[in-house]
Structure 1
Amino acid sequence: MAIGAPKVTPTLKNFLATYLPASKSSKKQKFALGISDAKLGPELFSDTGITAVHNDTTMEMIRGIRMHYAKLLQNLTDAEVTKAQLGLGHSFSRTRCATDVNRQDKPITQTIALIEQMDKDINTFAMRLKEWFAWHFPELTKIVNDNTIYARIVDLCDARRDNLTEDLKEEIEQIVLDEEKAAQIIDAVKISMGMDISDQDALQIKKWAERVTELMTFRETLSEFLKQRMSAVAPNLQALIGEIVGSKLIAHAGGLTNLSKYPASTIQILGAEKALFRALKTKGKTPKYGLLFNSTFIGRAGAANKGKISRYLANKCAIASRIDCFSEYPTAKIGESLRDQVEERLKFIASGTKPRKNKEAMEEVLQELKQEGLFYGDNAKKVEATAAGNDANEDETDEERVAKKSKKDKKEKKEKKSKKEDKEEKKSKKRKRSEVEDDSDDEDAQALKEAAKTKKKSKSK
């Protein structure tokens, strides 16, 4: 724990107390404690009062001790040292995993990476399925454009176009969600120009269609899981730009804490690093957006206003990520108000209607949170203190209150008098100093005149 955090654990404190000589203060310390981690120094000083040293010589000494550890200690072999190092490495990694700040963000990063990979795979698999089944029923590719619907229809008919009859019309309508398309599919079977396939080919096509549909259903469950995780970890960011774009930003930044530390200008071009460095090398135009391009707000904006909306959206994303990261009980209400502000900004750019100010929008949300008991503001302690004082004042009598006021007035008068006296003393000191300096200047001038006269007399002689 002391290496990973770094923190001063009780075992480390006991070790230092037993093996180091006692000293009354850090100034009278007669030894130098070398450390390998500079961050451990302030913690050591605050807990034990020992000043530590971290420089090149200490690092060299620690390296030498680690190298020749088995020779410095008796009855210790190299094998035992390697075992101890292995155990230390395991315990260190275990504590790092247990105290990881981004442990809630790991499922989000893994899930969005898996969804992106599955989208690519499903597209390629569906394309193969269409090419394979088009030899038997080519008209279906023109009628049905969606990959999921296509795979489900192939699975329904057992990879045989002759099975798509009037008996399966209701099931086809449930898959296609359109009566006209279902009728077109049944009519296309009668005039199809596709070739016949064998039973083995039909069986393989059916198995492949089943596998594609399973992948699609699994992808839907993954998206639901991602939605739940984002609502628990970053609800404001999800309410602002959606779970897909928000999770991509978190994954690209390496966690919600890293994303919250980024400025809005960095969030704006996250995902467009290659284009940015290419523009810096060639002295061209820098990119206006990166992963934020997938947001619906930028798609709805005009071509001339995409940069403005992306900059405004990046500002709101920075606010939402910081609220999600550093608030104890985050809610999605602030993210919803930020989304409304972006909508108002789009209307302002399109039609000219003035949007609300950020201060007004935030005050409305904070009032709602205060009513629900989720926000108390920065003056919670002051409010509690004043409430306690009011309760105490109610029990007091009028005479006691008058006496307290008179005491306060006397204290204030004394303080004012003391301040005036201090000012007068300072002014008198300044005057005395100026007079002394003037006298010294006059004496120096007279001494210089006398010296000049003596020089003239000596020259005349």
Structure 2
Amino acid sequence: MAGIDYLLFEEATGYAIFKVLIQLDDIAVRMREVQEAAVDASKFSKMVELVSFAPFKGAAQALENANDISEGLVSDYLKSVLELNLPKPSKKERLTLAVSDKNLGPSIKEIFPYIDCLSNEIAQDFLRGVRVHGPKLLKDLQEGDIERAQLGLGHAFSRAKVKFSVQKNDNHIIQAIALLDQLDKDINTFSMRVKEWYGWHFPELAKIVPDNYTYARLALAIKDKSSLTDESLHEVAALVNDDSGLAQRVIDNAKISMGQDISELDMLNVSTFAERVVSISEYRAKLYQYLTDKMHTVAPNLSTLIGEVVGARLISHAGSLTNLSKQAASTVQILGAEKALFRALKTKGNTPKYGLIYHSSFIGKASAKNKGRISRYLANKCSIASRIDNYSDEPSTAFGQILKKQVEERLTFYDTGAAPMKNADAIKEALALSADLADEIEVDVEVDVEEPKADKKEKKEKKEKKEKKSKEDKKEKKEKKEKKEKKRKADDDEAPKKKKKKSKD
């Protein structure tokens, strides 16, 4: 095996080219003396020699080169460094260059065919030694420069990797749906506490107004039940969706209520708590609207098909929209029912038919015997919708609408037997629907734009020339064909004459 001629050392501060003075082989590299030499700076400096060190001009260039190396690409700067510092051998000879990343080797070889790149154990040992003794081998650098450059590049590289599109980002969806679920639990707990606390003063109100949000608003507005009179009808009606009958019942029950009187200090605490419940409920409504808007931006087809909340829960459970799009339809079907699945596999029982998609309205509409079938079909369509949302540049709701229509038709098919839409027809319809908006935009741009007469005349002449040329080509082909047929017939006629002549001879 050929030895290593040069080393390419990629550092946060720049590129360094080292020439190998003492060659090693697979056996020697495992020897204790060689391993100790790699740790000892004085011994290792005799094994390699610095040819050139090309520092980066700034942090931006360092980041650009780091990104290229991570993807196995040769940047223009690295290309110029290799071109200037590596000698070009004769046609038969070849250079061997040690690189740390094996994906970088083929890219270098593509640009420099005479260079063979290695990233084996020997190459890694050499590069490890250079990394350990870098500050001493790279004499132009001061102490601490490499550490500071590595830290800065590490921060810049990480920052660049976690950058995201403001419009298409599913991290906010995951956080929003988690907060929404938490708020639902908290609002329910706090509302029960408000009912129980205020119920000591006005117990009849809980049966008249079962809605938690409305109850908290009424408790906040009424406070002391003795303050309610017939004149308060309009104020109370405004809090119960302008239902005057319900408002009158509240006032009538307040007059004959069996609840105990409450002091001002106690009422102040109840009102403060009720105010907090109202504010949390209002924030929950705003958060739901935010989640709906975000889902229509990030995953419009999935949200159109299965709803914003269920779609957000699927994305959250999968970890991201990309992860959800990579999963098979069978996995999407039972997403959220992992415990039941593994319990069924362990006990050899029936596996679950659905997970999070159970909350979809389609599962609720299906009959008991068809719930499993429609959940399987719905999971298939959810998988398609998530892939379209994740991988399309400008997603629209066209595919989501058609997929939803397909699921509805499948439900009808289970009930009545009416033939549902075929997948090929559905795709055609979705493509036509998604192209409608683009066509409208093009029409708006092109309408009332008249071409100059000279251009029209030129186009007409070109068209005529093209047609004339095509006619001539057809005529020429026809003539050639006729000539070939005549020649073939003549050959066929001559063949029997030749045979007769031979037989006479």
1:101 CA drift (Å): 10
1:296 CA drift (Å): 1.0
Which amino acid is the alignment partner of residue 427 of structure 2? M
State the match for 1:395 in structure 2: 464
Superposed CA deviations along residues 377-404 of structure 1, whole A, max 9, x for unmatched, are xxxxxxxxxxxxx988723166533433
Q: Output the aligned Cα RMSD.
A: 3.3
CA distance in 1, matches of 2:164, 2:76: 18
Which amino acid is the alignment partner of residue 172 of structure 1? V
TM-score by length of 1: 0.76
2:335 to 263, 270, 285: 270
Q: Where does structure 2 lack aligned partners over 5 or more consecutive residues?
A: 1-66, 441-458, 483-505
CA distance in 2, matches of 1:185, 1:251: 43
1:210 to 275, 279, 282: 275
1:151 to 211, 216, 219: 216
Residue pair 1:149, 1:176 contacting (<8 A) in 2 also: yes
How has the CA–CA distance of structure 1 residues 391 and 98 changed in structure 2, closer, same or farther, with 3 Å as cutoff? Answer: farther
Of 197-206 and 91-100, the range deviating more from structure 2: 91-100
How has the CA–CA distance of structure 1 residues 101 and 139 changed in structure 2, closer, same or farther, with 3 Å as cutoff? Answer: closer
TM-score by length of 2: 0.70
Write the mapping of 1:69-84 to structure 2, written as runs, cut at 5 A. 69-74=134-139, 79-84=144-149
State the match for 2:68 in structure 1: 2
Superposed CA deviations along residues 228-248 of structure 1, whole A, max 9, x for unmatched, are 121122111111011111111
Tell me the SS of whatever aligns to 1:200.
helix
Indicate yes or no: 2:474 matched with 1:405: yes
Superposed CA deviations along residues 347-388 of structure 1, whole A, max 9, x for unmatched, are 11123222221222222232333444369xxxxxxxxxxxxx
Write the mapping of 1:246-325 to structure 2, written as runs, cut at 5 A. 246-325=311-390
How has the CA–CA distance of structure 1 residues 151 and 283 changed in structure 2, closer, same or farther, with 3 Å as cutoff? Answer: same
How has the CA–CA distance of structure 1 residues 195 and 323 changed in structure 2, closer, same or farther, with 3 Å as cutoff? Answer: same
Of 210-219 and 251-260, the range deviating more from structure 2: 251-260
2:305 to 240, 250, 258: 240
Superposed CA deviations along residues 207-249 of structure 1, whole A, max 9, x for unmatched, are 1111111111111111111111211221111110111111111
State the match for 2:224 in structure 1: 160
State the match for 1:222 in structure 2: 287
CA distance in 2, matches of 1:72, 1:336: 65
Tell me the SS of whatever aligns to 1:206.
helix
Q: Where does structure 1 lack aligned partners over 5 or more consecutive residues?
A: 376-389, 414-461
Superposed CA deviations along residues 256-305 of structure 1, whole A, max 9, x for unmatched, are 22222222111111122222222223322222111111111112212221
Indicate yes or no: 2:238 matched with 1:174: yes
State the match for 2:499 in structure 1: none
Tell me the SS of whatever aligns to 1:2.
helix
Residue pair 2:200, 2:259 contacting (<8 A) in 1 also: yes
The structure richer in strand per residue is 2
How has the CA–CA distance of structure 1 residues 55 and 366 changed in structure 2, closer, same or farther, with 3 Å as cutoff? Answer: same
Aligned residue pairs, count: 396
Identity, in percent, stands at 46
How has the CA–CA distance of structure 1 residues 268 and 206 changed in structure 2, closer, same or farther, with 3 Å as cutoff? Answer: same
CA distance in 1, matches of 2:239, 2:97: 77
CA distance in 1, matches of 2:438, 2:374: 34
Write the mapping of 1:412-431 to structure 2, written as runs, cut at 5 A. none
CA distance in 1, matches of 2:123, 2:184: 53
CA distance in 1, matches of 2:123, 2:235: 77
Residue pair 2:96, 2:116 contacting (<8 A) in 1 also: no
Which amino acid is the alignment partner of residue 116 of structure 1? D
CA distance in 1, matches of 2:230, 2:90: 97
